[in-house]
Amino acid sequence: MLNYLTFTTTTEILCFLIAFVCLRKDKVWIWKYFNLFLLITCLAELTGVYLKRHHQMQNAWVYNILMVFEISFVSLMLLRIFSTYVKAKAFILCSIILFALLFGYELFSHGIFVYNNLTYTVMSVIIVTYALFYYYGLINSDNDVRVGFSAEFWWVTGCLFYYFGETACDLFYDKLQAVYVTPLHTLTYYIYALLNILLYGCWSYSFICRRWLEKRLETQ
């Protein structure tokens, strides 16, 4: 089992455990079932590690399937968060349709065993745009939001750091991959590790805010 505990899988499992403790009794369904997405993510990552290490098999199809769950849960969460500021249902629905078209196009072009990189890049850019739009709505909102204790703020912040960083890293992947920090790992390894810490760290804190800190503010 320890062979499967890479840096990525470890951070994902820790985030899932925090989500399970904090969100399993949440009254808002998307928050309550977000730990299901994290469980699916953990299982997909462990499967990807298993296929690569023990069977020397292509594991891109695992991450293509995971991408479907990722865009679904992230879009639903963004829809829930945006409902506080603006009606964004039509925009998010258009984004999901665009994702479906790109996903289908790439599957038709090269099959499921090649990673759908274009789809993921477009998805990342769209999520970053939505995150910036959220900040704009937050700044112009009349609501008094204490961002240090806001689950929504930290969840969106995690998305912004991660997807913006991944998009930038993908654009310069060849050059970054050529830089060896250690004999075993290139610069991209450490960048992706940092992005995982930012994403799952922010998400974990958002779950803690959702479970305890936001309720404490309501009673003050």
Helix/strand/coil percent split, the chain, to 5: 80, 0, 20
Q: Which two tokens stand for residue 41?
A: 């993510």
Residue spans of the domains in the chain: they are 2-219
Residue 202 · residue 164 · CB < 8 Å:
no
Q: Which amino acid is at 159?
A: C
Q: At what angle do helices 60-82 and 89-110 cross, to 10 degrees?
A: 170
CA distances from 80 to 92, 186, 205 (A): 11, 38, 18
Q: What is the DSSP track for 158-214? A: HHHHHHHHHHHHHHTHHHHHT-BSSSS-BHHHHHHHHHHHHHHHHHHHHHHIIIIIH
Sequential pLDDT tens for the chain (220 residues): 546 678 889 999 999 999 999 999 898 999 999 999 999 999 999 999 888 877 666 889 999 999 999 999 999 999 999 877 777 788 899 999 999 999 999 999 999 999 999 999 999 999 999 999 999 888 887 777 788 889 999 999 999 999 999 999 988 888 888 888 887 788 888 999 999 999 999 999 999 999 886 665 555 4
